[in-house]
């Protein structure tokens, strides 16, 4: 991975993203023993690949798993601090809808442990909606009423930092 950095710029940050859903994530973080093993493998991977950080895109860590996810991030944060110090970046991607944010994440503790939280604002509307809308609106449309006024980046970002 480090080869990319030497080609054009030594300022490039290499942060691989681990992507999965509840079915893929629940086993490695289900208890302290499996979390420790998973964290150690992530640390070894980051060392061997000389990465600048790790990103986690768990879609979505809802219901029973959101507390486990926070515990995992807390333990990973401690291991990263001990191994790499402050320069190593930990980031996550979170869903942008109010219900997803409320049901799936404990944002305040994550904000204390992570360097960046990426807001996935690309999926506000889809083929399943009864009304056509931009998949990634920056601002609400004037015709949107009620809950539909929340389906835009401006609203989601404000809610996330509230």
Three-state SS letters, the chain: CCHHHHHHCCCCCCCCEEEECHHHHHHHHCCHHHHHHHHHHHHHHHHHHCCCEEEEEECCCCHHHHHHHHHHHHHHHHHHHHHHCCCCEEEEEEECCHHHHHHHCCHHHHHHHCCEEEEECCCCCCCCCCCCCCCCCCCCCCCCCHHHHHCCHHHHHHHHHC
In this predicted structure, what is the pLDDT of residue 3?
63
Query: What are the domain boundaries of the chain?
Result: 3-120
Q: Which residues have a Cβ under 8 Å from the Cβ of 73 and sit 6 or more positions away?
A: 56, 90, 92, 110, 113, 114
In this predicted structure, what is the pLDDT of residue 138?
93
pLDDT under 70: residue ranges of the chain: 1-10, 61
What is the distance between the alpha carbons of residues 7 and 2, in angstroms, rounded to a whole number? Answer: 9
In this predicted structure, what is the pLDDT of residue 58?
83
What is the distance between the alpha carbons of residues 95 and 98, in angstroms, rounded to a whole number? Answer: 8
Tokens representing 86 are 């402050």
In this predicted structure, what is the pLDDT of residue 128?
81
May I ask the CATH class of domain 3-120? Answer: alpha beta
In this predicted structure, what is the pLDDT of residue 7?
54
> Can you give the pTM of this predicted structure?
0.85
């Amino acid at each position: 991975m480090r080869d990319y950095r030497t080609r054009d710029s030594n300022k490039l940050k290499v942060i691989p993203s681990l992507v999965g859903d509840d079915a893929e994530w629940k086993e490695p973080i289900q208890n302290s023993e499996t979390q420790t093993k998973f964290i150690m493998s992530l640390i070894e991977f980051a060392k061997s690949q000389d990465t600048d950080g790790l990103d986690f895109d768990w879609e979505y860590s809802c219901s029973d798993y959101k507390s486990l996810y926070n515990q995992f991030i807390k333990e990973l944060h401690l291991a990263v601090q001990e191994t790499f110090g402050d320069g190593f970046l930990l980031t996550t991607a979170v869903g942008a809808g109010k219900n997803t944010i409320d049901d799936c994440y404990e944002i305040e503790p994550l904000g204390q442990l992570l360097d960046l939280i990426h807001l996935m604002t690309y999926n506000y509307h889809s083929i399943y909606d009864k009304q056509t809308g931009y998949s990634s609106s920056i601002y609400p449309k004037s015709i949107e009423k009620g809950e539909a006024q929340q389906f835009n980046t401006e609203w989601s970002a404000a809610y996330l930092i509230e």
